[in-house]
Amino acid sequence: MVEDLKGKETWRLFRIMSEFIEGFDELSDIGPAVSIFGSARLNKNNKYYKKCIEVSSLLSKNGYTVITGGGPGIMEAANKGASMNGGVSIGLNITLPKEQKPNKYQNRSLHFRYFFARKVMFVKYAIGYVCMPGGFGTLDEFFEALTLIQTHKIYPFPLILFGSEYWSPLMEFMKKNMVKYKTISPEDLDFIDMTDDPKEVLDIINKHMARKMKLIKSTEPLKKEEGLTKIKNKKIVP
């Protein structure tokens, strides 16, 4: 095991650490954010590209930061919609053999070498996910977040599938096959929303944000009381 950590492997650990550190430093001040995913292969003439601009524009106008993978296609549309409205438009770029070319609509960019470090940033700083039609990468991000919520590893947040024409077969598979074979519970599907309406996306995110703020405010008196108790119980050493 020690031999495996020598040479290049040791430096790889430092590179991984540097990606986490840079991500935490750069994204710690972005405020409430929504991560938007989708295919790099859908161009500006595609209806979902246009819808994505509409979604991200609405989110940006309402004070939400938009986070994408930084590439072309749907990612470009999401960054474009945010930047058009003067919002924070973040791209978490990654080096890939093809398709991943950074789009010009990012006003804050990070570059990653490792998918797992990048995926942490998507989920850590998001209060919701919007999944436009996409491929394996989009499914990967969606199901990872769904698994983390299902297993109580993260606080539940909206997982929105945009485009019923595209996503309905997947939802049907989960309802008819996965629930039928009891590989998931019926209530697990309650974590997922599906819509074709950009305004409904905003509504879902706003309602979640309101619930979250209410929860935060409800815990403030408890934290204050806990802090006073600690002060009272603190022993003063002369």
Query: What pLDDT score does 11 carry?
Result: 81
Within-domain flag for 1: no
Query: What pLDDT score does 225 carry?
Result: 54
The per-residue b/e assignment along 191-223, b for 16 or more CB within 10 angstroms, e otherwise, is: ebebbeebeebbebbeebbeeeeeeeeeeeeee
Domain span at residue 80 reads: 12-233
Dmax (CA) of the chain = 74
Backbone angles phi, psi at 219, to 5 degrees: -90, -15
The per-residue DSSP string of 7-69 comes to THHHHHHHHHHHHHHHHHHHHTT--SEEEEE--TT--TTSHHHHHHHHHHHHHHHTT-EEEE-
Query: What pLDDT score does 221 carry?
Result: 63
CA angle 28, 101, 135 (to 5 degrees): 85
H/E element holding 80? helix 74-84
Query: What pLDDT score does 102 carry?
Result: 86
Q: Which letter does DSSP use for residue 176 in this model?
A: I
The domain tally of the chain equals 1
- Taking Cα atoms as reference points, which of 91, 113, 112 lies closest to residue 102? 91
Query: What pLDDT score does 226 carry?
Result: 55
Within-domain flag for 89: yes
Enter the pTM of the model: 0.86
Query: What pLDDT score does 10 carry?
Result: 79
Query: What pLDDT score does 98 carry?
Result: 65
Successive 10-residue mean pLDDT values, the chain, 238 residues: 55 90 94 96 97 98 97 97 94 78 92 93 96 97 97 96 98 97 97 98 97 81 54 43
Query: What pLDDT score does 1 carry?
Result: 38
CA angle 82, 88, 91 (to 5 degrees): 85
Q: Which letter does DSSP use for residue 174 in this model?
A: I
Within-domain flag for 2: no
* Interatomic CA distance for residues 108 and 132, integer angstroms: 22
For tokens 């070319």, name the residue.
Answer: 101
Query: What pLDDT score does 236 carry?
Result: 35
Query: What pLDDT score does 188 carry?
Result: 97
Q: Which two tokens stand for residue 71?
A: 């590439």
Within-domain flag for 6: no
| Domain CATH for 157 | 3.40.50.450
